[in-house]
């Protein structure tokens, strides 16, 4: 707000009241609000001044009539031509639309190490929470991890295909997964499959009741029952892994009612003229080795359901059928 000074002819030195403002010697005794100043300017011509009545270098006339004159000289800025979308922008927009149309059901994708860390910290329940979002299921930790990685790889392949069809090179990121996540996941998918470790001195093959049991089957069963991830299992020391594998051996012996014997390779005879007899257990056909793996599955499936004699009879019948085939 400013003080006002009356400059109309015949009003110089006016002392009195205009509207609600008092004037003394033509100058208002207090600063005047803009709305009141416009009302006073409708009656007399006034300018802005200080408390002593000094107008300054350029006197500023008060009132809407003067504002209309001064504001008429203001010119609006002329807008320039609008930017036109280039072909490169169109291609990029199409690729982004394609990426947004297919987003992952989780905030970020997981590598194998990430999933194994979840298994170590939260167990199979934590993995199943992730697997449910990818609509995959599994009975064991290794199986669930593989299915999650496979589902992620299929998602990436489909998303990249949609982006390529939109017209352009494959983008490395989506709205819900960073470029680092995708690169790490792709590397995990093509990563060479790790092998579960046994322990020093573990025999490659065992025989029980005429059936060959590879040590890998014992190790895989021990890994499954341990509830650990592949990395967690391999991080155990030899005695810990041996205890877990020995427990599987005891379960197998209890089921068969026989001793699980290691299959040891015999040394070649010193003389080539005398050939050692061929061990029938060592010379096992390929279908019997295949059936040995099936035995492990049958043990898990029938244990506690069929009597021991019925389970053995069923396994022998399957072996005979395989030989006839």
CA distance linking residue 12 with residue 228, whole number of Å:
101
pLDDT tens digits, one per residue of 25-52: 999 999 999 899 999 998 899 999 998 8
Measure the CA–CA gap between 257 and 209, rounded to whole angstroms.
9
- Please give the distance of CA 161 from its chain centroid, rounded to a whole number: 20
Tell me what the mean pLDDT of segment 229-236 comes to. 82
pLDDT of residue 295: 60
Structure tokens given for 3: 């003080």
Structure tokens at 83: 């930017």
What is the dihedral sign for C-alpha 208, 211, 213, 218? Answer: negative
Rg of the chain over all Cα atoms, to the nearest angstrom: 45
Structure confidence at residue 6 as a pLDDT band (50, 70, 90): very high
269 vs 139, more confident = 139
User: How many Å apart are CA 157 and CA 4, to the nearest integer?
Assistant: 78
Q: Taking residues 61-80, what's their average pLDDT?
A: 72
Query: Residue 171: what pLDDT?
Result: 43
Kindly tell me if the per-residue pLDDT of 178 is higher than 70.
no
Structure tokens at 7: 């400059």
Model confidence band, residue 89 (pLDDT cutoffs 50, 70, 90): confident
What is the average pLDDT value for the chain, to the nearest integer? Answer: 75
For residue 310, name the pLDDT band (cuts at 50, 70, 90): low
């Amino acid at each position: 707000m400013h003080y006002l000074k009356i400059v109309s002819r015949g009003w110089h030195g006016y002392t009195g009241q205009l509207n609600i403002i008092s004037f003394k010697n033509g100058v208002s005794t207090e600063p005047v609000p803009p709305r009141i100043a416009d009302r006073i300017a409708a009656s007399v011509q006034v300018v802005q001044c200080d408390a002593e009545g000094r107008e300054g270098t350029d006197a500023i006339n008060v009132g809407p009539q003067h504002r209309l004159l001064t504001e008429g000289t203001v010119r609006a800025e002329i807008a320039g031509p609008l930017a036109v979308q280039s072909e490169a922008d169109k291609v990029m927009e199409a690729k982004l639309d394609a990426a947004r149309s297919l987003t992952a059901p989780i905030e970020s994708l997981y590598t194998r190490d990430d999933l194994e860390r979840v298994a170590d910290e939260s167990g199979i329940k934590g993995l199943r929470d992730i697997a449910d979002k990818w609509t995959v299921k599994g009975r064991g930790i290794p199986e669930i991890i593989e299915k999650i990685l496979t589902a992620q790889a299929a998602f990436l392949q489909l998303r990249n295909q949609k982006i390529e069809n939109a017209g352009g090179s494959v983008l490395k990121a989506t709205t819900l997964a960073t470029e680092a996540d995708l690169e790490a996941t792709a590397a995990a998918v093509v990563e060479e499959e790790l092998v579960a470790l046994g322990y020093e001195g573990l025999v490659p093959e065992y025989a029980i009741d005429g059936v060959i049991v590879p040590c890998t089957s014992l190790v895989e069963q021990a890994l499954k029952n341990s509830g650990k991830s592949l990395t967690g299992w391999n991080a155990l020391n030899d005695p810990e892994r041996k205890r877990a594998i020995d427990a599987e051996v005891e379960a197998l012996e209890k089921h068969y009612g026989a001793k699980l014997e290691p299959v040891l390779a015999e040394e070649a005879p010193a003389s080539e003229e005398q050939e050692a007899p061929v061990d029938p257990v060592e010379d096992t056909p390929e279908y019997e080795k295949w059936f040995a793996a099936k035995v492990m599955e049958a043990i898990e499936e029938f244990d506690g359901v069929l009597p021991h004699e019925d389970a053995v009879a069923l396994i022998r019948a399957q072996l005979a059928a395989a030989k006839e085939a």
